[in-house]
């Protein structure tokens, strides 16, 4: 089949399956946020849900710190050691209530608390972590294979061959020549290129995984984007030059009162940069999904509010807009990966710059 046809089929199936998934999770009402948020299961509807392992570090008066691991939320609840934290209901060992909860599927949305003591850290595997791992696996498969080709001499001494190598080489060269070198300079770029390449391809893969059926976007999780931004932050500060720190703590060429005003601003600036990185990536990827889900949700909302005729009438409009936003999302997947990487390179480049103070700032 032609690639374009594949893509179209893919998009249609995503457009059709995504809302169904959402609806299955919440049969009574449509909740786009619920679908976009992280979860403790993988949704393979209509086949079913796969619950992910739950890992808790629990501290209690009696046993001190202990590690509790379960294969699923269900088994955690059934073990009797963990309970759903239901504010309205009493904590009970009532098996009938538990079975009812599990049957309704709502146990997956509950916060689990231990029978005694409290959860210190919840190391449970989540959907977004699984997709982060999947993206890592894809990257390892692609780039170890690609590296193998270069090791064998294809592309090293001869011209690169084939779609696979040419496609990824183009992207690697793009990151090197258009992101790393312009911001970091010829001498320093090699030190940071591995991080920039990893960040670019990881973010890109995560973004694109959100667009395939049964997929989820790891980069629409603020925790994950914060970790990515933290990597940039640490690389920036660890490699900061003397000039970088002097600019923060004693900005040159200013009167003392202005300096006193600038120092807190500069210190704040150190942190706003990575925070902006994290929020930008998270917000862009989350927004795209919310828009798609809301457009699809229009069909169901219209059906609920104005009846089936209105609901059917809105289908073509809704699908057309969804398709449009899907294409936009593909674009955004690339753009956000590019923006995160180029801003990381820019921040690192600014911090490592060792410029003389006679220059204009």
Partner 1 sequence: MVLAASLLSANVGLVVWFTVVFLALLLILRKYAWGPITSALSEREETIATSMNRAEEALAESRRIQESNAQIRREAEQDAQRLLREAREEAQNLRDQQVQRTREEIAGLREQAQEEIERDKERALQTLRSEVVDLAILAAEKVLQENLDASRQHALVDRFIDELGTEAGPQASSYQA
Report, in Å, the least distance between residue 78 CB and partner 1. Answer: 17
Report, in Å, the least distance between residue 109 CB and partner 1. Answer: 5
Q: Which residues sit at the interface with partner 1, rule CB under 8 A?
A: 33-34, 36-40, 55, 84-88, 106, 108-112, 121-126, 128-129, 132-133, 136, 139-140, 143-144, 146-147, 150-151, 155-157, 169, 172-173, 176, 190, 193-195, 197-198, 202, 221-224, 226-228, 230-231, 286
Report, in Å, the least distance between residue 180 CB and partner 1. Answer: 10
Decide whether 11 or 206 has the Cβ nearer to partner 1: 206
Decide whether 228 or 342 has the Cβ nearer to partner 1: 228
Decide whether 227 or 275 has the Cβ nearer to partner 1: 227
Report, in Å, the least distance between residue 264 CB and partner 1. Answer: 26
Report, in Å, the least distance between residue 150 CB and partner 1. Answer: 4
The residue assigned the tokens 């936003």 is 325
Report, in Å, the least distance between residue 61 CB and partner 1. Answer: 22
Decide whether 136 or 303 has the Cβ nearer to partner 1: 136
Decide whether 190 or 312 has the Cβ nearer to partner 1: 190
Decide whether 91 or 357 has the Cβ nearer to partner 1: 91
């Amino acid at each position: 089949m032609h690639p374009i046809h594949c893509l179209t089929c893919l998009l249609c199936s995503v457009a059709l399956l995504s809302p169904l998934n959402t609806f299955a999770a919440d049969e009574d009402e449509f909740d786009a946020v619920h679908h976009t948020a992280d979860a403790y299961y993988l949704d393979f509807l209509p086949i079913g849900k796969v619950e992910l392992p739950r890992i808790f570090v629990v501290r209690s008066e009696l046993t001190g710190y202990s590690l509790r691991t379960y294969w699923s939320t269900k088994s955690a609840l059934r073990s009797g050691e963990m309970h759903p934290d239901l504010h309205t209901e009493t904590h009970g060992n009532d098996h009938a209530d538990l079975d009812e909860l599990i049957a309704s599927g709502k146990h997956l949305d509950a916060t689990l608390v231990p029978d005694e003591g409290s959860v210190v850290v919840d190391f449970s595997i989540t959907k977004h972590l699984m997709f982060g791992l999947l993206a890592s696996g894809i990257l390892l498969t692609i780039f170890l294979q690609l590296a193998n080709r270069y090791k064998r001499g294809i592309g090293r001494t001869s011209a690169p061959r084939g779609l696979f190598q040419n496609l990824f080489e183009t992207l690697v060269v793009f990151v090197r020549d258009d992101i790393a070198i312009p911001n970091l300079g010829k001498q320093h770029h090699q030190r940071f290129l591995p991080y920039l390449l990893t960040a670019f391809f990881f973010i890109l893969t995560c973004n694109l995984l959100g667009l395939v059926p049964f997929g989820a976007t790891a980069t629409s999780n603020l925790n994950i984007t914060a970790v990515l931004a933290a990597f940039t932050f640490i690389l920036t500060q660890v490699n900061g030059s003397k000039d970088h720190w002097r600019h923060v703590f004693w900005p040159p060429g200013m009167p003392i009162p202005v300096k006193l005003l600038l120092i807190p601003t500069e210190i704040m600036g150190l942190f706003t940069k990575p925070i902006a990185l994290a929020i930008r990536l998270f917000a862009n990827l989350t927004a795209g999904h919310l828009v798609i889900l809301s457009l699809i949700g229009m069909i169901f909302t219209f059906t609920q509010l104005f009846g089936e005729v209105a609901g059917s009438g809105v289908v073509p409009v809704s699908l057309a807009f969804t398709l449009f936003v899907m294409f936009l999302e593909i674009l955004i997947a690339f753009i956000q990966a590019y923006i995160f990487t180029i801003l990381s390179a820019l921040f690192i480049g600014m911090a490592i710059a060792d410029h003389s103070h006679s220059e204009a700032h």
